[in-house]
Structure 1
Amino acid sequence: MGDVNARSPAALVADTGRGNEAAILNAALAAFGAQGFNGASMREIAKGAGTSLSNLYNYFPSKSHLLAEVLRHANDELHARLTRAVRDAGDDASSRMREAVRAYVGYVVDQQLAMLVSTAEVRYLQGPERERLVAGRDATEAVFAAIVEQGAGSGEFRTPYAADAARAILSTVSAIALWYRADGRLSRGQLAEQHARYALALLEAPLPH
């Protein structure tokens, strides 16, 4: 997974109200990020969370269940940030897209490790666990799809390839997790603004002055 120590340190899960469940989930994210799904052990995760292996199994019956819950929390946080950003933006599609992209970039910066684990380790989920994660990701992508539909319908987005542009925007922002460094030349705000402008340019929308 690369230099895990260079990734952003923000905890993914706050107190869930269930004992040390949050500590377990955050320890699992760190272990999956450092060693991958196959390399991480439940014993190591329990140690990282400051709990016993038997207590860990009281919360999560298997490592795949634990991975699924980590990824669910990650997607829920991203979806919440996006919906808040769009809700608080202006009524026009350009403002909504700008704020959605800014929110997504902010999430990638804050939860870089979660983004990397979501991309690299999702292949280990099968059946209902994978289906629930896919449904959650579809809901996140739908936030952008609705904005693109609004802008294309009103003529605000002039590209004839709106759906392709939306996919390109999501792919580009997600990929920030692969190369972002906190000590890079762009601040968090500059990075968010840059990618918001990229998104509007792809959609052939009016750019802010």
Structure 2
Amino acid sequence: MTVRPAGHKALLAAASAQFAERGYHAVSIREIAAAAGVSLSALYHYYPSKQALLAALLHEGMDDYQARCAEALAEAGHDPARRLAAVVGATVRYRAERSEASLMLMNEARALEDEERERYRARQREASDRFRQPIDAGVAAGIFTTPYPDDVRRSIIASCNAVAQWYRPDGPDSLDDLVEHNIFLAYTLLGYERRTPTSKVRQLSRARADDY
């Protein structure tokens, strides 16, 4: 079992907040220690450099995201549409619930040094493949009819990732609604004709139809 120093959670939280808000290069290791209320010697004992701290945060965030996807996929069965919905749902929830970590995952990996950056990029490719695999399977099975699966995959991922930038829990849509909206949009882009709109989407569609 790893022994954590007092204030370790505060240290990681402070680094995450500073990197997400100001960017890796604008933040000093001294500022992180001060924000966390720990000494520099305590910080350096566990993280010998700002690079090591960034890498630890990025991998922790990716570990959490991948675990959420794996759990969702384990419940989805083998149907490509259900598996894609599972990944979309897990991604949207992660981006909404851990927006700070998400912004770091998306924006600060470029600050890693070469060897660590390539290791992290391999994990990013693995995350992208979680979308690619059900899409390719659905195209092969003929249930996804888009002629542009790679473009659609990138659009779906971009839509899910953008949630970290704009979603607010006190906004007009619940997180469950947001998940369902993104799944419906993904199915629409893929040309999945057997998609079932959410109850809210059906209500909006009927309301719009009544306007004509």
- TM-score, normalised relative to structure 1: 0.86
Structure 2 counterpart of 1:152, one-letter code: V
Partner of 2:4: 19
CA distance in 1, matches of 2:69, 2:86: 8
CA distance in 2, matches of 1:167, 1:107: 18
Give the match's secondary structure for 1:90.
coil
Identity of matched residues, %: 37
Structure 2 counterpart of 1:162, one-letter code: P
CA distance in 2, matches of 1:40, 1:101: 33
- Within 5 Å, give how 1:1-209 maps onto structure 2: 17-20=2-5, 21-205=8-192, 206-208=194-196
CA-based RMSD of the aligned residues comes to 1.6
Gaps of 5+ in 2: 198-212
CA distance in 2, matches of 1:150, 1:135: 22
1:124-166 deviation line (CA, Å, top 9, x unaligned):
1121111111011111111111111211111111111112211
CA distance in 1, matches of 2:76, 2:66: 15
- TM-score, normalised relative to structure 2: 0.85
CA distance in 1, matches of 2:11, 2:3: 11
CA contact (8 A) 1:76 1:136 kept: no
1:200 is displaced (CA, Å) by 0.9
CA distance in 2, matches of 1:81, 1:112: 15
Structure 1 counterpart of 2:184, one-letter code: R
1:181 is displaced (CA, Å) by 1.4
CA contact (8 A) 1:65 1:129 kept: no
Structure 2 counterpart of 1:17, one-letter code: T
**Rg bigger for which structure?**
2
Gaps of 5+ in 1: 1-15
Structure 2 counterpart of 1:187, one-letter code: S
Partner of 2:207: none
